[in-house]
Structures are given as C-alpha cells and as structure tokens.
C-alpha cells in the first residue's frame, strides 16, 4: 500500500438498475500520489487503484487506447468510474504513470530500466521504450571502443548483477534487439563466471524467477569455459608462445624479466581499483588496464617490452571482440547489424531457446 492511501470499493454496473454495490467485490487501496479526483478511469493492480485519465494513456499507448475502445457499459465501475484490471506489479505501474504525470526520470540502475522497458513494450509506449532502448544501447554497444567506455561490467551506476544481466538477454531477445545480444551475453557469462568462483549462487532460483529454462545452467558453464579458453588463446596467447619458445633468450629482449612477469601474471590474484582481478576473470576488455599493469613483477622489464606486451594484448582483445557473436551462436556482427530491429518479437528465440543444447 502506498503511503497516504485510502481504501475504496468496486461498484458494478447492473443493466437496468443503475450503479449498485457489489457485495462480492474485493476492496482496493487508492494510490496516494496517483489518484486524481478528475480522473475518468481506474487501473487496479493487485488491489492498488490508480485513478488517472484515459486521454493521457490513449495518447501514448495504443494498447490502452484499444482497451478503452472495446470497453462495454457492463464493465466494472467504482464511484461511477470505469475500472480496468491489470496483472502488473503495482510498484512498476506507479513508476510508469509517474513518468507521465510528474516527469519522474528513468533511473540509471539497470533493474528499473528493464522494468520500464518491459511495461512500455507490453503497452506499446514508444516514448518510454525508445528511452530505455537508448540506455541499453549505450550500456551494450556493438563496438569495442564504445563497450570499453561504457564499463558496463563494473559500472556502479548500472548496478549490474547476474539476475539483471539474464533479464537483459531475455528482453533483448523478446524485443528483437539483436545487436545488443553479444555484449549482453558476454556480461551475463562474465557475471556467472565470477559469481560461481567467488560465492555460492542459487542459479536455479534465479532462472525460475525469470521464467528461464533450468537447462540454461550448463549453457552458461559451456560459454564460460569457451571464453576462458579463448582469452588464454587470443588475449594472452603471446604469453604461452613466449614461455614455450626454447630460443626466447635470443628472440626476446628482457627475456628473463618477461618470464618472471608472465609467470607472475598467470599465477597471481590482483587487487585493482579495490576489486579482485585474476586470470580467470572474464572482464576482458577493461580500457587502459593490461596484464603488464597488474603483475607485480614487471618493474625490471624495459619500457619497450612493456609496450609491446600491451600492444599484443590489445590486438588479442580486438580479435576476440570481432569473433564474439559467434561464441554464442549469434552469427557475425555484420549479420546482427542487418538483422537488428526495434520491432517487438514474440519470444526469446536467439540465445536462450537452445538452452538444452550442450553448447
């Protein structure tokens, strides 16, 4: 119940008898902020009532407009006002209506953004939906440089966790936002990899709460193993090449110092910016942060060798990013750009539909 809310009772119009009390009608609570005395329609969500204006909702939502157009004189009434029952969370509907009435801003945290995105997609509200899509495109861009600038994985303003990253992929699939899927799925797998390594997560409970198949767990595990392998092969591949080179003393400047630094990097856990980082971290694309910056044993390596190390890692990152959609069976970046559309889809059919596959 909202603060300052008061109770109300439904009344049903009985043809030929005018408005009479419906003794069987359930009571509802008037929302304190979104109950306007001049409102001409009442929305009821889980026994919370919102008295608002049909014209405002019809202006922005084709779904509400059609809903009102097909209303019949025998529909529910309360205080002589037509009643529409919605199955949505009243908290989310309050935020949704507050956007129109009070110009409440869409929060920056990813959870509320996804709430707005769900509601605006369900009721076809382009004004809100377009704002949400713009936020999601900034957080999950299709270029490496933009993704590095977004810092989505570690962006405190977004407050991204495993649950919200799974929601992102689920909603992007459903709404046909194909170009967002690689970065979203990468973030999801990175969160999964980190969480399973550092804490005991209840993944089954998370999947059930989101209505996702439980068989997605082995899919996430498969993607995690694949990306960790690709990280070692592409991003850190030059390290293994060096360590396996029998002539490295002749082929590399600072060979002994590099050997110590490389072995240090592959066997240590690092505290960077108050967060633990290690070889198994899938936050692969951190801007201006390379293995040479993390290892404690690089002080004796010359500047030229350090720079060459960073350039090789940078090239490996680009190679991995360019191939990223393929790791999740999404095709190529070019195919996704051609396919990308803002037209709502009917189901989650890209990444999660084949969760039963071994991956």
Q: What is the mean pLDDT of residues 308-323?
A: 93
Gyration radius (Cα) of the chain, Å: 27
Q: Which residues pair with 78 in a beta bridge?
A: 81
Pairing of strands 11-14, 18-21: antiparallel
Total residues found in the chain within this entry: 359
The answer to whether 3 touches 32, Cβ cutoff 8 Å, is yes
Please state, in angstroms and rounded to a whole number, the distance separating the CA atoms of residues 307 and 151: 23
CATH of the domain at 47: 3.30.710
Nearest to 83 by CA among 139, 9, 142, 21: 9
Statement to judge: residues 241 and 346 lie in one domain? yes
Three-class SS state of 220: helix
pLDDT at 277: 54
Regarding whether 109 and 84 lie in a shared domain, the answer is no
Count of domains for the chain = 2
Take residue 203 and report the two structure tokens written for it.
């993944």
Q: Are residues 282 and 350 in the same domain?
A: yes
Please count the other Cβ atoms lying within 10 Å of the Cβ belonging to residue 99: 19
312 is a domain residue: yes
Residue 93 belongs to a domain: no
Q: Is residue 76 part of a domain?
A: yes
**Cα gap 209→201, rounded to integer Å:** 14
Q: Last residue of some domain: 60, 88, 116? A: 88
The pLDDT tens digits for 56-85 are 999 999 999 999 887 655 557 777 888 999
> Token pair for residue 78?
């309360």
CA 128 to chain centre: 17
Question: What does the pLDDT look like over 10-60, one tens digit per residue?
Answer: 443 333 333 434 423 458 899 999 999 999 999 999 999 999 999 999 999
- Per the domain annotation, does 98 fall within a domain? no
The pairing of strands 76-78 and 81-86 is: antiparallel
Residue at which a domain ends, from 54, 88, 122: 88
Domain range holding 74?
Answer: 6-88
- Using 50, 70 and 90 to split pLDDT, how confident is the model at 298? confident
What is the pTM (predicted TM-score) of this model?
0.81
């Amino acid at each position: 119940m909202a603060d300052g809310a008061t109770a109300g009772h439904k009344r049903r119009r009985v043809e030929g008898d005018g408005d009479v009390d419906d003794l069987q009608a359930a009571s509802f609570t008037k929302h304190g902020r979104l109950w306007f005395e001049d409102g001409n329609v009442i929305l009821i969500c889980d026994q919370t009532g919102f008295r608002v204006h049909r014209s405002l909702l019809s202006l922005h939502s084709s779904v509400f407009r059609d809903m009102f157009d097909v209303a019949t004189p025998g529909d529910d009434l309360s205080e002589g006002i037509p009643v529409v029952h919605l199955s949505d969370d009243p908290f989310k509907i309050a935020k949704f209506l507050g956007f129109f009435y009070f110009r409440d801003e869409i929060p920056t945290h990813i959870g509320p953004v996804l709430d707005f995105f769900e509601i605006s997609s369900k009721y076809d509200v382009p004004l809100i939906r377009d704002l949400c899509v713009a936020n999601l495109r900034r957080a999950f861009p299709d270029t490496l440089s933009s993704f590095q600038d977004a810092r989505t994985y570690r962006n405190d303003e977004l407050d991204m966790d495993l649950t919200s990253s799974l929601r992102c992929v689920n909603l992007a699939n459903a709404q046909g936002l194909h170009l967002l899927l690689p970065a979203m799925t990468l973030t999801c797998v990175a969160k999964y990899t980190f969480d399973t390594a550092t804490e005991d997560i209840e993944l089954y409970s998370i999947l059930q709460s989101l209505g996702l198949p439980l068989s997605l767990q082995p899919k996430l595990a498969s993607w995690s193993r694949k990306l960790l392998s690709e990280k070692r092969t592409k991003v850190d591949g030059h390290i293994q090449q060096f360590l396996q080179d029998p002539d490295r003393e002749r082929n590399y400047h600072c060979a002994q110092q590099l050997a110590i630094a490389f072995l240090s990097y592959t066997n240590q856990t690092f505290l960077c910016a108050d967060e633990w980082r290690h070889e198994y971290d899938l936050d692969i694309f951190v801007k201006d942060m390379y293995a040479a910056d993390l290892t404690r044993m690089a002080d004796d390596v010359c500047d030229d060798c350090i720079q060459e190390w960073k350039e090789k890692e940078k090239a490996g990152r680009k190679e991995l990013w360019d191939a990223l959609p393929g790791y999740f069976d999404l095709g190529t970046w070019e195919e996704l750009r051609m396919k990308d559309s803002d037209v709502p889809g009917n189901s989650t059919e890209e990444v999660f539909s084949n969760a039963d596959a071994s991956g």
